[in-house]
Amino acid sequence: MLNLDETIEAIKLCKHIPESDVEEICSKAIELLIEEANIQHVDTPVTICGDIHGQLHDLITLFKTGGECPQTQYLFLGDFVDRGFYSLESFLLLLTLKVRYPDKITLIRGNHESRQITTVYGFYDECVRKYGSVNVWRYCCEVFDYLSLGAIVGGKGGVFSIHGGLSPDIDTIDQIRVLDRKQEVPHEGGMCDLLWSDPEYVPGWAISPRGAGFLFGENEVNRFLQVNDISLIARAHQLVMEGYKEMFNQGLVTVWSAPNYCYRCGNIASVLTIDDNLNRNYKVFKAASQDITAIPSKKPPVDYFI
């Protein structure tokens, strides 16, 4: 029988988690996620977090900054994996917390929670390096397909939370509720845009330099806020050197939670707490101080060929 509390502490110490335990954690997480809606309702107070990108030690700092789970309720806006050296541990820590405290942590999908992206940006290679097969990566990818696409914090007049941004195909939150989310992230369409789009000071919709999603401006944000009776769009997806950035008369905020992104960008990170009156409180934090020699090289010699 899996001891979740012991597993959480082992993951924080970067100890090797048996493959069978990873499979069980992923399976239990799917049992919970399958019951969740495309747009999850999240009560206040809640602390909203942006991209993590495999920076486990900084994720641990995040919990010290915002408050440990379950005393603090959390909403993570995706991009748990890739780029950092501890994608597996970061994702497993969040999944294990989800299984241990289902009502205290909400995980939504980012554009990196996809098979195609993780084979390019590090997560696939990390899983194979640490376990000698693709099994663990496959278990995690199956979880990706069940993650919600977004959340509403605080009900009417509250905060619409999404990884990327808006879509020209989607005017109302109800349209998101009926999407089929249990699939690999498509290359175009509403689901793709929610995970890939970015706000920009542009008139109307514009082509995104990312090659997926769109750029959208203030008019699109104001229209979406009004039509859907919400006061704020909270999203992640873009590096912000100051940790967070409000735009469009404070109608949208980007929250970024990976300090010193890629171990070299020098940025600070933040989390956003929404209280019962929908007031915003940002907490910023710096990268965890860790011995640089403890960071593994991207591709150490493989030793699992017998």
Does the bond joining 168 to the residue before it have cis omega, within 30 degrees of 0? no
Q: Which of 158, 74, 72 is nearest to 108 (CA)?
A: 74
**Exposure class string for 208-229: b at 16+ Cβ within 10 A, else e:** beeebbbbbbbebbeebbeebe
| Cβ neighbours of residue 28 closer than 8 Å, sequence gap 6 or more | 99
- Which amino acid makes up residue 194? L
- Cα separation, 155 vs 144, in Å, equals 25
Separation of CA 122 from chain center: 16
- Cα separation, 269 vs 25, in Å, equals 28
- Cα separation, 241 vs 260, in Å, equals 9
Asked if 140 and 127 count as a contact pair (C-beta separation under 8 A), the reply is yes
- Cα separation, 23 vs 30, in Å, equals 11
| Cβ neighbours of residue 269 closer than 8 Å, sequence gap 6 or more | 50, 58, 62, 243, 256, 257, 258, 259, 284, 285, 286, 287
Sign of CA dihedral 271, 276, 150, 70: positive
Q: Please say if 53 is a catalytic residue.
A: no
Instruction: Find the catalytic residue in 53, 57, 112, 163.
Output: 112
- Residue 96, exposed/middle/buried by CB under 10 A (0-12, 13-18, 19+)? buried
